[in-house]
């Protein structure tokens, strides 16, 4: 279920963890509200903040090392074949959406619908969303919801950390003295602000795509994807409405046979 922690991406993961705890340590060492509360024995907020930082690191390792839905053999795909009986096929009218099972040109395994081969991971991934260099792993069927949860916790930590850094700024009589006194906290604030903006945009885009039941790969490359390029610009065969899409993504576990969803959409038009 999990990959080797010392595999490819070890340096990226190490740098992420070191940067996280260095920034956290700086927020405690300088004269911020966090340090003042710690010195006066008001430990609730410092403990909660450190706990959230720890949770964000654990979620980072979870999504980074988790199997995103790798397709490792044709045998594992037997249960994910078209899933359409001859009787159901007779009910479906001929359409430009008619498909045949694809076989990956790289790993030579059959690809269930919505899967894609990742050149970085050298595997096909079910319900492929994208390959994230930040976590050095693909985001797919098995870890996508955990990736979104990680982004949400990370955003909370970043915004809170930026506020804490802001409270540590002190006044000075000259610009040079102010910069010398607050230079480190200023750098931390700018770093946290940039990361907050990036994570906010990522989280917002993922929530938007999830609400439509479409992946990043499908959204960016639908004109090249066999089962979508014949659809209209506003047509999505996997969309079941915003609430149903969100409920299915966050609350329903298990693999979905997307071929059945796709062809049921076709049969509904009869």
Distance, in Å, from the CA atom of 66 to the CA atom of 147, rounded to the nearest integer, reads 10
3-state helix, strand, coil in the chain (%, to 5): 55, 5, 35
Give residue for tokens 């069927």.
141
Partners of residue 105 on adjacent β-strands? none
DSSP tag of 15: H
Angle of CA points 253, 259, 262, to nearest 5°: 100
Give residue for tokens 């409920």.
247
| CB-based contact 203:148 (threshold 8 Å) | yes
The one catalytic residue in 121, 124, 132, 138 is: 132
| CB-based contact 125:70 (threshold 8 Å) | yes
Has 132 been annotated as catalytic? yes
Residues 6+ apart with CB under 8 A from 24: 49, 50, 53, 161
Give residue for tokens 């340590």.
25
Half-sphere exposure for 245 (CA within 13 Å, toward CB)? 17
Distance, in Å, from the CA atom of 85 to the CA atom of 270, rounded to the nearest integer, reads 17
Residues 6+ apart with CB under 8 A from 97: 227, 230, 231, 237, 262, 266
Give residue for tokens 């790993």.
107
Residues annotated as catalytic are: 132
């Amino acid at each position: 279920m999990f990959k080797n922690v010392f595999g490819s991406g070890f340096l990226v993961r190490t740098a992420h963890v070191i940067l996280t705890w260095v920034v956290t340590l700086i927020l405690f060492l300088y004269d911020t509200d966090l340090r003042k509360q710690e010195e006066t024995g008001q430990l609730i907020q410092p403990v909660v903040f450190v706990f959230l930082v720890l949770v964000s690191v654990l979620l980072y390792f979870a999504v980074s090392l988790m199997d995103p839905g790798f397709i490792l053999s044709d045998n594992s795909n037997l249960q994910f074949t078209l899933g359409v009986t001859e009787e159901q096929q007779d009910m479906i009218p001929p359409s430009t959406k008619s498909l045949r099972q694809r076989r990956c040109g790289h790993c030579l395994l059959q690809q269930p619908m919505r899967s894609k081969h990742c050149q970085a991971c050298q595997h096909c991934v079910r319900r492929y969303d994208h390959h994230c260099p930040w976590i050095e792993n693909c985001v797919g069927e098995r870890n996508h919801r955990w990736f979104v949860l990680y982004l949400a916790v990370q955003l909370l930590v970043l915004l809170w950390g930026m506020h804490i850094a802001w409270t540590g700024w002190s006044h000075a009589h000259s610009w040079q003295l102010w910069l010398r006194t607050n230079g480190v906290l200023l750098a931390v604030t700018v770093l946290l602000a940039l990361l907050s903006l990036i994570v906010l945009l990522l989280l917002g885009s993922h929530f938007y795509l999830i609400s439509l039941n479409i992946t990043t790969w499908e959204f960016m490359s639908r004109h090249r994807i066999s089962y979508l390029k014949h659809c209209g610009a506003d047509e999505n065969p996997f969309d079941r409405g915003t609430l149903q899409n969100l409920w299915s993504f966050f609350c329903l576990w298990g693999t979905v046979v997307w071929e059945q969803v796709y062809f049921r959409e076709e049969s509904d038009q009869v």
